[in-house]
Structure 1
Amino acid sequence: MKIKPIAAALLTLTSLSSIAATYSITPLPVTNKAKNTFAQSIDNSDTLLVTTSNEYNPPIDVERLKQTNFFAINEASIENEDDIKNGIFSDIDYTLIVSYLNNLTSQNTFLLRKQRIAQFKSYSTDLVDTRFVQGFDNFVEKFDDFSQSVTTIARDSLNGDFIVGYSQSPYQDVEYTNNNDQLIRYTINDIYRRAFVQVGSQTVALLPKDTLVNGISEAFAVNRNFQVGGYGTTRFSPAIRESAATCTDDGERGDVAKEFCLYSLINSRSYQQNSSKRATIWQLNASGEVLSSEIFPLPFEPTTEKFAWENRILDINNNGLAVGWSHTGETVNFLKPGAQFRNTEVETQAAYFENGETIFFLTDEKDLASQAVAVNDKGWITGTVARAPNEVARDRFFIHNVDTNETRYPDGFFINAGVIPRSINNRNIVVGRADIESSNEANRETNAFMYNINADEFINLNLLTSCDSPYTLIEAVDINDDNEIIANARFRANDTYATGNPVTDENGNNIKVDKIIAVKLSPIANGQIEGCDEKEEVKYERAAASNTLFALLGLSAFFFIRRRCIAK
């Protein structure tokens, strides 16, 4: 249903002139590719980036499948084992296989022989043509296609053909004969996460300063001067260096392949957390070649060695002003929604990065943890800040102007509502998601919002669409300078098998489920706001509130990226 508060009656076309009146909704042309699609970004060339999850009809390596325990553990559920071994799949059998390959939760040598299927892949589209963003994936002759084993998240684009994000290296087979003369086959990769820029069909790696076991880097945003903002590892702890050295020492490693030892290391929490990561701007040329990089320091001098200290860039404007967050060197203690006890964690603060400095700018003592997520060319920064007016701290919304030093904390749909901004354009319009219910639940239902800085108006984007729209906009993710928006919407559709065919009940009727899909919102010139009759909203069970793709996937599963990932 469409949420139409009484306050909507007060809105006029005059007050909404800056946001181009009403909007039409178009699902992105990737809904036929996967069960789940998630919005990432829209640029000024009208190129949209979208992430897919649980894609239909991934290629199956039947010979490799025969070498696993798939048939043994699924014996009672398989419809036709002989057909599977001959490459013929029913809807149920195909879904069983894909589910089996997706559930790689162990790193033992037996499971590592499985074919890998990436959980997340990325595409760019202009609503006419859709292009796969391959990242570091490789072409496989057996499939006559990319391996589809590589997770790639495309986060931002420039002019449609200059795309940045992060990717993995492809999975490769490695053979090792152990001390008992047993041949062990591993299927592993050697890069956990690496920033990239893709120009046309060419992918260029954006390396961190410290590339121990290839290091870690991510890219979040690119400006028209080919500056890319993100972060990379600058130093690993002595323990991690010692572990890496052990992996490459035949006398110290133990009876495992060197490649597997290193793979286990880069996928460990220790490797990912015991490293110093610093905000980084890579300067590229128009071909995507890296000309230089600038690494930004912490805004404090650590009194003790701590390799988890870090800062990150999440956006950069066309003037080279980058924003994001940094650790402060302190801890903060507050009660989170749904928690029984106060939580102590490392404090983060919103920061901007300029002239080689990392600068904090929020000064209100009521501000707890914060981060900046977007900045426009007029110096307006937006982000989230945790505040606890009623003991419980929820993420709130701030805007700050670098030039005037003005800071505002706009309310959402009601006082003390949780509000998560995601993007801001050069018309001073902010978009994101906000709570629409004031319950005491840890996870509240959200709707997409638009906030006009100049008019100080906070508007539910569902008000600006047709009353009979089948979509409920739960989150606006990005907005370009034409006020076109990419968003995530809740939509009721047929449940599907891994083949894409609909799931039916015992009577042959399609089973309907709620899904999250990526949509584009386009302004309608001279459109009119419709007065819609209120109807009872259909409630659903919500998964844990978060902005990660894994949480959105949970929303779809339970039934409920951006260009800039909000990560604390």
Structure 2
Amino acid sequence: MKKTILAASLLSVLSSTAFAATYQLTELPRHENSKNTFISDVNESGEVIGAASSLFNTAIDISYLDFESSELESLYSRYVSSLTSNEEATFTLEDIKNGAANTNADAHAFMIGALASYSGNADYQKINDRIGLIISANSADELTLFDIQATYADSLTRSVTNFPTAISDDGVIAAWGSSPYRQEVFTKEGEDDKTVFVRDWTSRGLVISPSGKRVTLEPGFDTYGGTSMVTDIVQLDSGNYIAVGSSSVSIPENSQESYDDNCDGIDELVSVCSWQLQRGSFYNTEAFQWELDNNLDVVGSQSLGLGIVREDDEKGAFNSLALATNKNGIAVGYSIVRNTDDDRIYAYEQAGYFKDGEFNRIHAHETYIQGGKAIDINNSDIVIGNYYEQGTSFNGQLVVRKQVGFYYDINSKTYEEIPAFFTGSKVTVRDINDKGQVVGQGEIEKNTSSPKYEAFLYEVGADKVTNINDLLPCRSEDGGEFPYTIAEATKITDSGFIYANATKTVERRDTLGQVMKDSDGDIEYEAVVVPVLLTPIAGGTIDECTPPEAEEYERQSASFGFLSFLALPLLWLRRRVS
């Protein structure tokens, strides 16, 4: 069996590998300046892209802030009131004004929370707590998309969204993100000048070659900035590439009316007004495809289709999105759809595939509270995805009452639900390889207020799924409890390697990256997300563990054909938007 480049490198250089019963688990490098490291996608050569969240030492710009404003004073008062009787505030707003957020972790955390609470207010600095990564055998290094150097600190602005989504077999990375925020001054007659934060556009697709060449995939319609996203990329046999995602194609009548009525530049900058409107469904967006030559120059682009035809009285935004594509040129994703029986528009998106300029629904729904997304497609034209049913909780909040995985064979037109850990378990599928092996995550306990999810492995046509944690050892090499729980499997290669996001307990760190201690001076601990590689072990056998009493399902040895051959894998979105 062929080993991926990363797998071979890790097995030769890392000593922290844990040997599993049927899979050997290797923890991949984590990003050093954040709590959580995730895997987004992996190619057959083992080149890994991912993301990190909960960054340490995010720079705070205090130069524009009025520390006597009612907003900040109110937030600080609420912070003080939240402290327990044996706690005291370690900072004041005056301390932050004098730079305390750079050295006092409590002050830094307070400011991060304050800015998050004002994310919809253009008067405050914008911070996005997620960066892209390239994960090698030795390190997890930041992949910068559109961010720039900050003027107030020796760092990037950290004001952009960053979503590396896919990597082709020859190492071309697809991603999407936003433009950085910048400060502008708004002058209104009779009032003091005010600093506001604005940006040029909400989203752009980007492809990056192994040599570092960057090509922005521009939207088909860019009035007021426009938007484009790229979610997947494949290299064709010709050497060209197909990238898919979505693009703005027009502005619906309702959005244009809102812009014309409000964005006059009198009470606020036009750019601020436009930004506020674009935080909602401002554009008509459609699933989109870009074709690039072997030098990554765009040689063509086109809309892939929409599952609805607009009627004269429909003035709102319509959308579709492609989430993945294969070498046969078939893309999968979702679209807004109309029920042909009574001409009503479904409340939620419908799963389907895009072929020859048309959107094809995969599975007809019975009610208007059902929706779905097609997540991935292999080169045999087998699609995987999820269907869900929305509902309303007792307090009026929208909740997902049901979510099941499915696979669909385009050639035979057959649709099947993927089994779950138990009846009613909410399932999210992530990836399918060309052998028909599927990985994802599923809910493992019934009737709990805080659902728990673990990764599964499935083969198309089988009657059950396998919890990937059941294929790992019960104990670590030193005899202690096995330190990893595989929460989500994001990729399974054709060679059988599983790449996943696992939870692991580590020393707890504050927002400045300092190890935290309790009142007795003892180190505190917390669970974080770490990237892992699972390598099949020829001749391995399942380690028979005594399952916890709380488990609702039994550990079972797998009976799938491919497992016998090997002798016995978040909204968020593997490389997928969700």
Relative contact order (C-alpha < 8 Å, sep 6+): which is higher? 1
Q: Quote the residue 2:128 is aligned against.
A: 118
Letter in 2 for 1:257: L
The partner residue of 1:452 within 448, 459, 462 is 459
**Is the contact between residue 129 and residue 158 of structure 2 (CA under 8 Å) also seen in structure 1?**
no
The CA deviation at 1:27 is 3.5
The CA deviation at 1:435 is 2.4
Q: Quote the residue 1:42 is aligned against.
A: 42
1:245-394 equivalent positions in 2, closer than 5 A:
245=260, 252-267=264-279, 269=280, 272=281, 274-303=282-311, 304-330=313-339, 346-362=347-363, 368-386=370-388, 394=402
**Is the contact between residue 231 and residue 323 of structure 2 (CA under 8 Å) also seen in structure 1?**
yes
Counterparts of 2:524 and 2:157, CA distance in 1:
32
Q: Quote the residue 2:142 is aligned against.
A: 132
Q: What SS does the aligned partner of 1:296 have?
A: strand
The CA deviation at 1:313 is 0.8
Q: Quote the residue 2:174 is aligned against.
A: 164
C-alpha offsets along residues 26-55 of structure 1, whole Å, 9 cap, x if unaligned?
344235321233332222221222222220
- Superposition TM-score, scaled by structure 2 size: 0.78
Q: Quote the residue 1:513 is aligned against.
A: 526
**Is the contact between residue 188 and residue 266 of structure 2 (CA under 8 Å) also seen in structure 1?**
no
Letter in 2 for 1:30: R
**Is the contact between residue 38 and residue 52 of structure 1 (CA under 8 Å) also seen in structure 2?**
yes
Counterparts of 1:462 and 1:86, CA distance in 2:
46
C-alpha offsets along residues 414-460 of structure 1, whole Å, 9 cap, x if unaligned?
34433221110112110011222233x58642221010126555211
Q: What SS does the aligned partner of 2:165 have?
A: strand
The CA deviation at 1:294 is 1.7
Q: Quote the residue 2:417 is aligned against.
A: 409
The CA deviation at 1:521 is 2.5
- Superposition TM-score, scaled by structure 1 size: 0.79
**Is the contact between residue 331 and residue 345 of structure 1 (CA under 8 Å) also seen in structure 2?**
no
Q: What SS does the aligned partner of 2:438 have?
A: strand
The CA deviation at 1:142 is 5.4
1:236 aligns with 2:228: no
Q: Quote the residue 1:438 is aligned against.
A: 446
Q: What SS does the aligned partner of 1:92 have?
A: helix
Letter in 2 for 1:95: A
**Is the contact between residue 328 and residue 379 of structure 2 (CA under 8 Å) also seen in structure 1?**
yes
Counterparts of 2:518 and 2:341, CA distance in 1:
51
Letter in 2 for 1:42: V
Counterparts of 1:364 and 1:247, CA distance in 2:
39
Q: What SS does the aligned partner of 1:139 have?
A: coil
Counterparts of 2:324 and 2:382, CA distance in 1:
12
Q: What SS does the aligned partner of 1:223 have?
A: strand
Which piece of structure 1 moves more, 360-369 or 448-457?
Answer: 360-369
Counterparts of 2:286 and 2:193, CA distance in 1:
42
The CA deviation at 1:159 is 4.3
After superposition, the Cα gap between the structure-2 partners of 1:255 and 1:461, relative to the gap in structure 1 and judged at 3 Å, is same
Letter in 2 for 1:118: N
Q: Quote the residue 1:482 is aligned against.
A: 495
Q: What SS does the aligned partner of 2:533 have?
A: strand
**Is the contact between residue 47 and residue 160 of structure 1 (CA under 8 Å) also seen in structure 2?**
no
Counterparts of 1:102 and 1:493, CA distance in 2:
26
**Structure 1, gaps ≥5 residues long:** 1-19, 334-343, 540-546, 550-560
Identity %, equivalent residues: 24
Q: Quote the residue 1:195 is aligned against.
A: 205
Counterparts of 1:64 and 1:194, CA distance in 2:
29
After superposition, the Cα gap between the structure-2 partners of 1:283 and 1:442, relative to the gap in structure 1 and judged at 3 Å, is farther
**Is the contact between residue 120 and residue 276 of structure 2 (CA under 8 Å) also seen in structure 1?**
no
**Is the contact between residue 325 and residue 348 of structure 1 (CA under 8 Å) also seen in structure 2?**
yes
Letter in 2 for 1:296: L
Q: What SS does the aligned partner of 1:328 have?
A: coil
C-alpha offsets along residues 101-152 of structure 1, whole Å, 9 cap, x if unaligned?
443245163xx3x3x3222211121232433221111134654443222111
Counterparts of 2:365 and 2:62, CA distance in 1:
60
The partner residue of 1:211 within 222, 226, 233 is 222
Q: What SS does the aligned partner of 1:466 have?
A: coil
1:48-87 equivalent positions in 2, closer than 5 A:
48-61=48-61, 63-64=63-64, 74=76, 77-79=89-91, 85=98
Q: Quote the residue 2:575 is aligned against.
A: 563
Counterparts of 1:328 and 1:504, CA distance in 2:
53
**Is the contact between residue 331 and residue 347 of structure 1 (CA under 8 Å) also seen in structure 2?**
no
**Is the contact between residue 290 and residue 301 of structure 2 (CA under 8 Å) also seen in structure 1?**
yes
Counterparts of 1:129 and 1:35, CA distance in 2:
15
The CA deviation at 1:21 is 7.5
Q: What SS does the aligned partner of 2:470 have?
A: helix
Which piece of structure 1 moves more, 133-142 or 364-373?
Answer: 364-373
Q: Quote the residue 1:93 is aligned against.
A: 107
What is the number of equivalent residue pairs in this alignment? 504
**Is the contact between residue 332 and residue 347 of structure 1 (CA under 8 Å) also seen in structure 2?**
no
Counterparts of 1:121 and 1:160, CA distance in 2:
23
The CA deviation at 1:181 is 5.8
After superposition, the Cα gap between the structure-2 partners of 1:443 and 1:401, relative to the gap in structure 1 and judged at 3 Å, is farther
Q: Quote the residue 1:222 is aligned against.
A: 233
